Structure 1
Amino acid sequence: MELPVMPPVKPMLAKAVHAVPHDPGLSYEPKWDGFRCIVFRDGAEIELGSRNDRPLTRYFPELAELLLEALPQRCVVDGEIVIATEAGLDFEALQLRLHPAASRVNKLAEETPASFVAFDLLALGDRSLMDTPFVQRRRELEGVLDDSLARVHLTPVTSDPAVAEDWFTRFEGAGFDGVMAKPVDLPYQPDKRVMWKVKHERTADCVVAGFRWHKDKETIGSLLLGLYDDNGVLHHVGVATSFTAQRRRELVDELAPLRENALDGHPWRQWAEYKAEMRTPGAYSRWAVGKDLSWEPVRIEWVAEVRYEHLQGHRFRHGSRLVRFRPDRTPESCTYGQLDQVAPAELHKLFS
């Protein structure tokens, strides 16, 4: 493979803001909920690269074949791999594709084929477009991408912030993360936070059912959170993370009394005794190979108010942030019923 922009390339990133910016000269796009992917194609050779430099080609063979049809002979395209269903984007199904067995990958490729959404062009032919303004990169991408093929899409764009705000509210139920904004004259800057992202944020009161140690092995890295369903079953819904170093040390002492006899009657006791499926708190990460996600249980007594973005299935899509502990709440009161239920929206509306 010989291209003017060679792998690996770290994707351009975004800073989080709380509202859709209205600055002049901005272009807006939906924020897709999938795996960021930069595609490198040189003739019959194609490589799907992830944001952490792990190749994705072997996990999405159906996309590699499809993109050989949809892309020009020599190019580098930035985009997102998603799995679209009638109910919206399914990130959990996407995660299942990261499986070590080729037979399993091929089976899932037939049952839940992935789609590719293109939103930037980094190279075309012998030309690098990294220093070219985004508005021109977008124009060239529109001219070379064959999005008439099923499961290949060109992301919608608008220069109208009112349209972007409409996308932000109307399509959340389809699993979209929010809205992106970028200057039209922006060159492509790998690994730089030069765009803006607006994401949904809500709060929920959750049961603190355990924790994971920080990588230093001495302080608390994250809190494991749970919510009760209508049958009184406590489900693992995600983690609260992003503590300061001081707060991580404080949590060690604060949680210490809750560790005594923690497994007695603990609803997740079986998960503390063996490494189980991906959705259990004690699993290993399929994305960060070798990352230990083992956990320590605590007695079911504490409630934490956390800030989260949105629910994917029965779990928080991203890690949440601790707002405060709630001694005035009982664990039994922490149910799914408190969460906002966003009405589904059809994906095809974005492409009309």
Structure 2
Amino acid sequence: MLAKSIDRLPPPRAGGWRYEPKFDGYRALATIQTDSSVQVHSRRGTPLDDAFPELVGALYAYLPAGTVVDGEIVCWAGGRLDFNRLQRRYAQRRHARELAVTQPVHLVVFDVLETAQDGDLRRRPLRERRAVLERLFRRIPARSPLTLAMQTSDPAVAEEWFDTMAVAGVEGLVIKPANSPYVCGARVWLKYKSRQTTDAVVGGVTGSLHRPAALLLGRYGSDTGRLHYAGRTTHLSDAQAAAVAPLLVAAIGGHPWPVRLTVN
């Protein structure tokens, strides 16, 4: 199941919506095989077992064989989600067992696809799958790295989450039809992301002025009045590049940045 972006909360619908916080992490599908071995894969099928052994251990310990769950691997640091630390955890998987103690991750579980007791749940509506998931989590202790995703059917509660959780690095909301089945690859869910904006000056580009690939952004220092590098955009789509290109002109009379700018 995938989500498509929206810019406002959707109107009510027959059957209702379910709202969940949108976490910034790695989407993961976890399977506890009938022989009790555990497999954790990314949405594209990349194995994640060796990078996050604390999750493998918890899945083995707390979920029965024959269970398949969907969730998001996240890393908390200083009371906030830290995606960069999560990336470092994955990159340093040769040291995964030590890092599992010093920089632990969590799996926020938001769906269940199958259990040995209930069989294949993918055709069942979300509200029924959620009831099964809540039953599974009754035996999982709070100290476990497995976390049940928060969920509400109340749009007022969802708006409160949207307004208050951004400070902790939560990206926004995922909104799901309560009566929807689980269809692999289908964009039935919605994602409503919080956006923080600021004014910046385009000080350079990657690519060319006629076909920019990304924009290099700067802000004027309040003390010096000089344009300081502040960051870059993500890669521009063809449509975005075509819209921006006519607005770009070469600097006249020198530029405060070097010809080659080292950026992250």
Question: Where on the TM-score scale, by shorter chain, does this alignment land: which range?
Answer: 0.7 to 0.9
Structure 1 residue 62, shift from structure 2 partner: 1.8
Indicate how the Cα distance of structure 1 residues 52 and 222 shifts in structure 2: closer, same or farther if over 3 A, else same: farther
Would you identify which runs of 4 or more consecutive aligned residues in structure 1 move more than 6 Å? 228-233
Letter in 2 for 1:196: L
Q: How does 1:1-352 map to 2 (within 5 A)?
A: 12-24=1-13, 25-42=16-33, 43-99=35-91, 102-103=94-95, 105-125=96-116, 127-145=119-137, 146-148=139-141, 149-213=143-207, 219-227=211-219, 234=228, 236-245=230-239, 248=241, 257=250, 265-266=257-258, 269=261, 271=262, 280-281=263-264
Indicate how the Cα distance of structure 1 residues 137 and 15 shifts in structure 2: closer, same or farther if over 3 A, else same: same
Q: Please, what is the CA RMSD of the aligned residues?
A: 3.1
5+ residue gaps, structure 2: none
Q: Matches of 2:55 and 2:223 in 1, distance apart?
A: 41
Q: How many matched pairs?
A: 255
Q: Matches of 2:48 and 2:67 in 1, distance apart?
A: 17
Aligned residues of 1:83 and 1:91 also touching (Cα < 8 A): yes
Letter in 2 for 1:19: R
5+ residue gaps, structure 1: 1-11, 272-279, 282-352
Indicate how the Cα distance of structure 1 residues 223 and 22 shifts in structure 2: closer, same or farther if over 3 A, else same: same
Aligned residues of 2:212 and 2:236 also touching (Cα < 8 A): no
Q: Of the two structures, which has the highest relative contact order with CA contacts closer than 8 Å and spacing of 6 or more?
A: 2
Structure 2 length normalisation: TM-score? 0.82
Indicate how the Cα distance of structure 1 residues 191 and 210 shifts in structure 2: closer, same or farther if over 3 A, else same: farther
Give identity over the alignment, percent: 33
Letter in 1 for 2:99: L
Deviations 1:177-224 (Å, cap 9, x if unpaired)? 11121111100112211111211124322243543449xxx9433223
Structure 1 residue 134, shift from structure 2 partner: 0.6
Deviations 1:255-285 (Å, cap 9, x if unpaired)? 5735xx97x852974x3xxxxxxxx43xxxx
Q: Matches of 2:222 and 2:86 in 1, distance apart?
A: 28
Aligned residues of 1:28 and 1:161 also touching (Cα < 8 A): yes
Q: Matches of 2:85 and 2:71 in 1, distance apart?
A: 18
Aligned residues of 1:88 and 1:173 also touching (Cα < 8 A): yes
Q: Matches of 1:27 and 1:101 in 2, distance apart?
A: 35
Indicate how the Cα distance of structure 1 residues 268 and 257 shifts in structure 2: closer, same or farther if over 3 A, else same: closer
Indicate how the Cα distance of structure 1 residues 240 and 227 shifts in structure 2: closer, same or farther if over 3 A, else same: farther
SS in structure 2 of the partner of residue 102 of structure 1: helix
Letter in 1 for 2:123: D
